Structure 1
Amino acid sequence: MSVSRSACRTMMKAIRVAQFGGPEVMKVEANLTIPKPSEKQILIKVAAAGVNPVDTYIRAGTYAKKPALPYTPGSDVGGVVEDVGSEVTNFKKGDRVFTVRTDTGGYGEYTLSDSSLTGVLDDKLSLEQGAAIGVPYFTAYRAVIVMGKAQKGETILVHGASGAVGLACVQIAKAHGLRVIGTAGTPEGLDLVSSIGADVVVNHRGDNYTQTITEACGGSGPNLIIEMLANVNLEKDLQMATQRGRVIIVGCRGTVEISPRLTMGKELTVQGVMLMGSTAEEWKQMHAGIKDGMTEGWLKPHIGHAYSLDEAAQAHNDIINTKGATGKLILKL
């Protein structure tokens, strides 16, 4: 008679945060009870967990919604289904899966997730790549397609294209027939953005880089701009965008002062994105789009660096203080 691994084991290892603060507040605990799924939950044996900037904001206590302490960070994982709740019918033990959000945190050997925020991982992708799908690709799909309303033949500027969300935006935009301009701040980042299909790559640390982008658009500017650092770039985006262009804000790390007049003459639209604000119908649309990307082969997550669970603090430091992002950071379990 076979016995499941979770039946053999009752304890697991995971990161716990007992107080908000710097990366050092994350501690590895080795004797935590493996959780059991409720009716609609899935128990996943985690192979890798994604590290996202929002994880650092939550850990620091600066995020709008704070978890109850202590908690385990992490929302997107790649792993294998270990057990399912009594009402779960679309997943079974042994399925390879990825999550967009977890109920008990992803930085650990096991996690619980809601079946509605979990997807089947295509066999073409590794479990490590599975940890790089959830937040980056769903955020990118929401920014480019759902909120940005990208249309075939338009020009999109992905401002900060070498990070996990930026790379996902480039792949999604190319798959939907857009002309893509991607920016990065290092030679490695520029090479990466070019290698995944961007039509034009621009160093956003270079002199007069906005002029280069405008010239690449034939002088009219991009139709759609996906912005990863609005506190630094928003004014430039408004100056570059074409008539009735759209600026979608994915990331911001501070305040910015702009003149609303920059939006008036060209009748520009500026809109923010919050993934967890999606409606049920939008989740359905995003799940379908991501599944198509895996099936058609254009969804190819790039792992920038892999850390051990013990190196979680270093991963949090690196994702905020990097001089140039090059893909997704993950923790390997």
Structure 2
Amino acid sequence: MTAKDTVAVRVARGAVVFRLQRRSALLTSMLWLCALTLAVAALGLGEFDLRLADTLRVLGGRGTLIEYDVVVRDRLPRVVTGLGVGAAFAVSGAILQRIAANPLVSPDVIGVNAGASFGALLVMTIAGGAGASLVLGALAGALLTSAAIVLIALNRGLNGYRLVLVGIGIAAMLSSAISYLLVRADYHQVLSAASWLTGSLANRGTLHVTIVLVALAAAVPVLLVLGRHLRILELGDDLARTLSGGTTRVRLALITTAVVLAAMATAAAGPIGFIALVAPQITRRLLAGRPVTLGPAAAAGALLVTGADLVARLLFAPTELPVGAVTGVLGAPVLLYLLARANRIGHTG
């Protein structure tokens, strides 16, 4: 949707806006219904299979001790973490893509996830920390990395492709730093770090559920307030300044929200790749190319991570793949397609 189209929407007595919101709300509801249905199915599937009726009975508190241990203590935190992490990554990617007006911008592509990984790995291998300290390390790493990316990219204006190029360069440096930390770490730290760096939902617990749900709960009111500004920023800096005044503070607030969401999701499940890139693009196509609102993106992210984790658990059972390996197989072709499409548009424009 162009700036002209958007302005036309705003003067059409709200009719078109209402239709867009209704379609977005319908898509959000359908995607969340699919995600929650898949999540309930995931609670009963695995090495110890349960029928749907038995799973619901256990959730209602009427199962045996073994069933309760498998469903509630083992699988439920994993599934809830997956839903929250998928939603957080997807919303983070949707915010960054809309601000930069570039489908290639996402926290994993431009290095934010690498910064969170480096910070968490620094705490894990140097300080021997875990739990809350791991979260703080991931958050600090993501914030410092994003600050460096924005400051460098702002040198000649916050252009979407410049943001991608700067982010890729910083991500490459952080990748080298992560390799150095792994080389100097002991054997047990390397095993833990390798699994975490791929992105995994295995052995999730109350702490991981709390991390991602608190991040989402804190982000919701911020995004409800700034959502209108996000739509205005897509019209371009000149028109955005005319409609809402200064845009720098709003832009930085939105970027900070996206970074915190990605950092907390990374701290909860590791840097699960490509969800932040793919989920907004899927919903954009389901909305017929219209700007992606954050609700459908969150639902699509939750559905993708839950589905990918279920595949990771069942595909080579009893051997379990990290969920990041499955999302990588899904996301890499999408990234190549977006790169080819952007290159084709660049040549024809």
TM-score (normalizing by structure 1) = 0.28
Structure 1 or 2: larger strand share?
1
Q: Kindly indicate whether structure 1 or structure 2 has the higher relative contact order, using CA contacts under 8 Å at least 6 residues apart.
A: 2
Structure 1 or 2: larger helix share?
2
TM-score (normalizing by structure 2) = 0.27
